[in-house]
Amino acid sequence: MSNVGELPSPDANDCAIWNPSAAARWSLLFTPAFGAFIHMHNWRALGQPERAASARRWFYASLCLLALQIITGAFNARLGSEPLLLHPLGLLFLLVWYFGAARQQMLLVRQRYGRRYPRKSWDSVLVGAVMAGAAYAFARAMLSLLLVALT
């Protein structure tokens, strides 16, 4: 694993990153998939491909959990029941991701750069997150309606 001293200097033009602490906070609204995606790109910009690969695995695991929520939501709609396990599982996943992965980048950036580093704008990724959230809600509703209608 790379040493903190091997990170690019904050003057490097290609080293602009999103604030990793803000990414973790936005994940409360947009799920850990959002934060893992942001952290994956940050690790790449910081020249840490092995950590970017780890963040990519967190991103894929988050997408799998979201897909599981869509599927179980459809079955719960059909059965007229509430998902008792997935809400706590989602919260647990968020906590494990935060303490197992997100916090590592937050601490490293704070230690290496403090508050002074080139930052990327949040505009495009937040618009993308809202669009992805809308697509998720639409897919969940359509699958639920389809399952109820077909059975």
Query: Are 140 and 70 in contact, with CB atoms under 8 Å apart?
Result: yes
pLDDT, mean of residues 62-66: 95
Residue 78: partners with Cβ closer than 8 Å, 6 or more residues away: 144, 147, 148, 151
Residue 63 lies in a domain: yes
Residue 2 lies in a domain: no
Q: How many other CB atoms are there within 10 angstroms of residue 79's CB atom?
A: 11
Domain residues for the domain of 123 are 17-150
* Percent residues over pLDDT 90 in the chain: 66
Cα(107)–Cα(104) distance, integer angstroms:
5
**What was the pLDDT predicted at 14?**
58
Residue 7 lies in a domain: no
Q: Is residue 31's pLDDT more than 90?
A: yes
Residue 126 lies in a domain: yes
Number of domains composing the chain: 1
∠ CA 137-132-147, rounded to 5°: 30
Q: Quick one: how many helices (H) and strands (E) in the chain?
A: 5, 0
Q: What is the mean pLDDT of the chain?
A: 88
Q: How far is CA 134 from CA 45, 110, 137, 138, in A?
A: 29, 33, 5, 6
Quick one: pLDDT band at residue 6, thresholds 50, 70, 90?
low
Q: What is the pTM of this model?
A: 0.84
> Can you state the percent helix, strand and coil of the chain, rounding each to 5?
80, 0, 20
Residue 8 lies in a domain: no
3-state SS, residue 3: coil
Q: Is residue 1's pLDDT more than 60?
A: no
pLDDT, mean of residues 19-48: 96
Q: Is residue 2's pLDDT more than 70?
A: no
Structure confidence by residue, pLDDT tens digits, 97-148: 999 999 999 999 999 999 889 999 999 999 999 999 999 999 989 998 888 7
**Can you tell me which residue has the tokens 């750069």?**
113
**What was the pLDDT predicted at 78?**
76
Residue 5 lies in a domain: no
Residue 52 lies in a domain: yes
Quick one: pLDDT band at residue 7, thresholds 50, 70, 90?
low
**What was the pLDDT predicted at 83?**
67
Query: Are 113 and 46 in contact, with CB atoms under 8 Å apart?
Result: no
Residue 3 lies in a domain: no
Query: Which among 12, 47, 50, 52 has a CA at the least distance from the CA of 36?
Result: 52
pLDDT, mean of residues 25-32: 96
